[in-house]
Amino acid sequence: MREILVVEDSPEIKILLESSLSDYSLHFCTTLREAREVVSHHSFQLIMLDIGLPDGDGLKFLAELSTIPQTKNVPVMILSSKTETSNKIMAFSIGAEDFISKPFDPLELQARVAAKLKKMDRAQSRSELVRIGDLSIDFIKQKAALHLDAAGAHIEVLDLTTLEFKLLSYFARSPERVFSREQLLNEVWGSDINITDRTVDTHVGHLRKKIAKSKMKIETVVGAGYRMVPKTDADKQAAKT
C-alpha cells in the first residue's frame, strides 16, 4: 500500500482525508517538529502539507524537504485554505507539485493524488538512480549503497552478487508490493528451468544479511511471497538485543 505523509493539524480535515484516501496508508503529523522526525526514518511516496501549522510555516518546511535525501524526490502537495495567489506562486516556486484548496472535493482529491503517484512511477521507471529509504541503487554502475547518515556524507557500497543486485532492484522499484516466488523467478532468473523456489529463498536470505543495517527490510508475507518495507520500531529494538 502506498504511504502518504500528511502534515495537518485539523481533526476535521484528518477525518475527511481518511475517508477520501482509504486506499492509501496515511501517516498524520500535526506539527512540523513531528514531521521532521518522521521523515528522518520513514519513506513516503507522497507528502501532503498544510501551510499554517502550530509551530511554523509549512512553506519553509517545503523548502527543507528538497534538501533532505529521503524526501528530495518525493512529490509534495500543498493542502491549505490560504488560497491567495501569492501563496500559490510561492509554493510552486519552492517545488510543490500541486496546490489543493480547502475545502476540497473528495473525488477530485482522489484523482489528483492518483495522478501524482502515477507520474512518480513513470519517472522512477526511467530513472538511472533509485532511492528507497537509506538505500540507493545505480542502474548504470550496477551498484547499490547504504547511506549511513541523513546528509549522505557516509556511504557504504554493498557487496552484492549480480543476482542479489537484480533482486534488490526489483523490490526497490515497487516498495510495499508483494512478489510471489514465481514472479521473482521469472523476472530475476528468467527461463532457467533448473531454478527452484528454494533458490529464491536462499538468495533473499543472503540479501537480507547484506542490508541488515538498512532502515528497509525484505519481509516475508506468509503464503504470498516477499516485499520490501521500512523496518518497524520492533525490528530496530530486536536488532539491538
Q: Are residues 57 and 28 in the same domain?
A: yes
DSSP 127-185: -SEEEETTEEEETTTTEEEEE-STTS-SEEE----HHHHHHHHHHHHSTT--B-HHHHI
Continuous segment of H or E residues that includes residue 63: helix 58-65
C-alpha cell of residue 220:
516475508
Q: Are residues 109 and 36 in the same domain?
A: yes
Alpha-carbon dihedral 71, 184, 223, 220, rounded to 10 degrees: -40
Of 108, 126, 144, which residue constitutes the final position of a domain? 126
Alpha-carbon dihedral 161, 163, 166, 170, rounded to 10 degrees: -130
Q: For cell 519513506, what's the residue?
A: 43
What range defines the domain where residue 163 resides? Answer: 129-240
Whole-model pTM: value is 0.56
The neighbour count for residue 208, using CB atoms within 10 Å, is 15
Q: Are residues 196 and 96 in the same domain?
A: no
Q: Are residues 105 and 186 in the same domain?
A: no
Residues 85-121 pLDDT 10s: 888 998 998 889 899 998 899 999 999 999 888 877 7
Q: Please tell me the total count of domains within the chain.
A: 2
Residues 122-163 pLDDT 10s: 666 566 788 888 999 988 788 899 998 766 668 899 999 888
Of 92, 126, 160, which residue constitutes the final position of a domain? 126
